[in-house]
A and B are shown apart, each in its own frame.
Chain A
Amino acid sequence: MHIRNGRDFWAGLMFIGFGLGFMLVAQNYPMGSAVRMGPAYFPTVLGGLLAILGAVIVFRSFVSKLDNPFKVFTFRLPLLIGALVVGGATYFSDSLLKGAPLAEFALAGLALALFIGAFGPRAMFLILLAVVIFGYALKPLGLVLSTVLLIVSSALAGHDFRNKEIVILTVVLVLFGVLVFVKGLGLPFNLWPGE
């Protein structure tokens, strides 16, 4: 017996993980009865079904006629271990860091970054990082600087980075953002830091 369809194998595991995860967390809530369903009832049923389907998909990957490689993702073990350690630390330091939500956020962010870096292409890491940075920079830095950050860091994810082009693109998009989003649509963004 060996895994014939790597994609199905991992997909099945993912569904089992999600199914069991939802079931497990749902056990914190009252179950209720079929007549008066509690908040745990529907998720438990759905989670159970999902896990069963996941198991079927895993089983199928052993007998599949398709030949897909087992290795679907790039995988970097050290980064994954790092992500799990930092993530665990974030979770358990919950009570310790109550007074410092910023530190908690930073830790969680680091765990996430490590996790994303652990598998998947470089482009994904850079794109998602650019997005998260934009989200958290928009308020403190203002629209202009965070747009610059977003464009430049996401452009790094591409195949060829041309300095001149990126500068022009950034200027155009900053102008567009200021004129359309803020002036035109009236979205409540500040343009510069500390406004």
Chain B
Amino acid sequence: MGDLIHNLSIGFGVALSLQNLMYCFIGVLLGTLIGVLPGIGPLATIAMLLPVTFSLSPISALIMLAGIYYGAQYGGSTTSILVNLPGEASSVITCIDGYQMARQGRAGPALAIAALGSFFAGSVATVFIALFAPPLAEVALKFGPAEYFSLMILGLVGATVLAHGSLIKAIAMTLLGLLLGLIGTDVNSGVARFSFGLPELSDGIGFVIVAMGVFGFAEIITNLEQGESREVFVNKITGLMPSWKDLKSSSSAILRGTAIGSMLGILPGGGALLSSFAAYTLEKKIGDPSNFGKGEIRGVAAPESANNAGAQTSFIPLLTLGIPSNPVMALMIGAMMIQGIAPGPQVMTERPEMFWGMIASMWIGNLMLVILNLPLIGMWVKLLTVPYRLLYPSILLFICVGVYSLSNQPFDVMLAALFGLLGYVFVKLECEPAPLILGFILGPLMEENLRRAMLLSRGDATVFFTKPISGVLLGVAIALLLITLAPAVRNTREVAFQE
């Protein structure tokens, strides 16, 4: 306990410096600003704003990126409630009841509850991270290559199981991502693989390029192809304050959502998406389900708290194991690497001020979100009325500048355009791109650990099962796959994703 307080005080010392407070604020503000725009999820927002952080010190950059993430997440729920257009999968659930509330003229309370629930969940999750990250990092220090390999398998399986639609297509997308991740110079032999003699490819493809192409460009293209249709509730936001009855019925939902989100966020493949789905389902099971889908405030409170808690605790595997559990965390790893930090258990011991500073800034960021969002809601709403025909050229400019400034090479922009093409094909063929991004980040790491493990075991592949930790991780992965394939779960999974 004394340790915890000591650590947190280091953290707040760092996070409360004027400079870092400012970056946290800018991050939250920018994140909300971009995240509010319909059709842009946290992933695209972070990737777009990544270049903004290049010139900062590593700790300020990470604080700002984390702020962008929460901001984008919260901005996304504002859009879900007001326009019924989720920025990404984790806000889909909020659309169901939030949009109905808005149609009944209760957008204000819905937004307020979402903000308060998110803040509460964020505070709990921050303490959760501070408590559980250190012991987990100690375990992680004992991990060898076999354990890391199995852990990554588990993470990838988790991501595929949670992807929308067909499981087999999600697995194929993961494999494709792993393969694309191998493009570039092989560290062991120095051979430039799959580079087709192009020097630009010998360093590999930047993950921002892939993410921007597959999510950013492809998104714009499909939106333009479909034409726009949205209905914004601008004039109907009168009172922000939820009634006493609202507060009473949502407070328990917020508690449950926070608990679920904090647990599920840690799981590989987990995070905001899984948490909000699970929390909504639980709320429907508890108490009177008749109002759900018709503007039930619990249906906003629970998933919003859960996705914020999950979004935060998904930092735990990243900070302790150095392994991203979802595409957003994959982006964070990329950002850390750009700053010259190798993510993993050593970060906590070698750079405690960075680790704890980031955790403290998470809480501050959440506080800023509440202070910022409730008064500024009118402004976000105005932003929503900007027509898409003006938005998408602006988004395009941001993405292009972001991609170009990675290494100041036109080739990167062309590559991103190619991935945009590929992303459009994925959309058309109903192939969910999230597992691809995760595979892309993990590809080289997995190969490296596989090689080392096989070298250490002298080519004995059973080592992955005979080492206890590794065996358990693989066992869980296999069980997860089998459960998903079981007919009963398969059906509920399809139903869950249709909702």
Contacts and interface: CB of A to CB of B under 8 A. Distances in A.
A86 interface: no
B172 A186 contact: no
B189 A130 contact: no
Given A123-B225, A185-B51, A173 B179 contact: no
Nearest to A18: B176
Interface string A1-21: 000000110110011001100
Contacts of B420: 124, 127-128, 131
B447 A42 contact: yes
Interface string B165-179: 010110110011011
Contact of A7 (B55, B417, B430, B461): B430
Interface in B384-421: 388-390, 392-394, 396-397, 399-401, 403-405, 408, 410-414, 416-418, 420-421
A82 interface: no
B245 interface: no
Contact of A22 (B179, B418, B446): B179
Nearest to B450: A42
A176 to B, nearest CB: 8
B375 interface: no
B412 A50 contact: no
Nearest to A109: B414
A191 interface: no
B17 interface: no
B400 A134 contact: yes
Given A131-B416, A132-B414, A135-B410, A50 B389 contact: no
Number of contact residues on B: which range applies? 35 or more
A84 interface: no
Contact of A39 (B171, B189, B197, B392): B189
A10 to B, nearest CB: 6
Interface in A138-195: 138-139, 147, 150-151, 154-155, 157-160, 162, 165, 169, 173, 177, 181, 185-188
Given A128-B217, A177-B401, A43 B410 contact: no
* Interface hub of B179, B408, B461 (most chain A Cβ within 10 A): B179
B189 A160 contact: no
A167 to B, nearest CB: 12
Interface stretch (B70-78, B101-109, B301-309, B451-459): B451-459
A187 B413 contact: no
A5 B333 CA distance: 38
A77 interface: no
B186 interface: yes
A39 B217 contact: no
Contact of A150 (B52, B217, B393, B405): B393
A119 B368 CA distance: 47
A34 B454 contact: yes
Interface in A28-50: 29-30, 33-39, 42-43, 46-47, 49-50
Given A15-B176, A53-B171, A135 B224 contact: no
B209 to A, nearest CB: 11
A131 B227 contact: no
B204 to A, nearest CB: 13
Number of contact residues on A: which range applies? 35 or more
B175 A187 contact: no
Given A50-B175, A124-B424, A127-B221, A57 B169 contact: yes
B55 A127 contact: no
B131 interface: no
Given A26-B193, A139-B410, A155-B389, A33 B459 contact: yes
A10 B429 contact: yes
* Interface hub of A11, A47, A131 (most chain B Cβ within 10 A): A131
A135 B179 contact: no
Contact of B217 (A43, A131, A139, A162): A131
A136 interface: yes
A46 to B, nearest CB: 5
B429 A42 contact: no
A185 B193 contact: no
A155 B400 CA distance: 15
Given A57-B172, A187-B405, A177 B397 contact: yes
Contacts of B52: 185
B168 A56 contact: yes
B172 A135 contact: no
Contacts of B412: 135
B194 interface: yes
Contacts of A87: none
Contacts of B466: none
* Interface hub of B413, B420, B429 (most chain A Cβ within 10 A): B429
* Interface hub of B171, B172, B189, B405 (most chain A Cβ within 10 A): B172
B182 interface: yes
B416 A43 contact: no
B188 interface: yes
A112 interface: yes
Given A124-B225, A165-B390, A53 B410 contact: no
Contact of B224 (A43, A54, A57, A157): A157
22 contacts: A25-B194, A34-B459, A35-B458, A42-B450, A53-B168, A57-B166, A57-B169, A73-B428, A116-B421, A121-B221, A121-B225, A124-B421, A127-B221, A131-B217, A131-B400, A132-B414, A135-B413, A135-B414, A150-B396, A160-B389, A185-B55, A188-B408
Interface of A: 7-8, 10-11, 14-15, 18-19, 22, 25-26, 29-30, 33-39, 42-43, 46-47, 49-50, 53-54, 56-57, 60, 72-73, 94, 109, 112, 116, 120-121, 123-124, 127-128, 130-132, 134-136, 138-139, 147, 150-151, 154-155, 157-160, 162, 165, 169, 173, 177, 181, 185-188
User: What 10 A-B pairs have minimum CB-CB distances, sorted nearest first?
Assistant: A135-B413, A35-B459, A123-B224, A11-B429, A135-B410, A39-B186, A50-B175, A34-B459, A53-B172, A42-B447
Given A38-B189, A47-B179, A165-B389, 5 more contacts: A72-B429, A73-B428, A124-B225, A177-B401, A185-B52
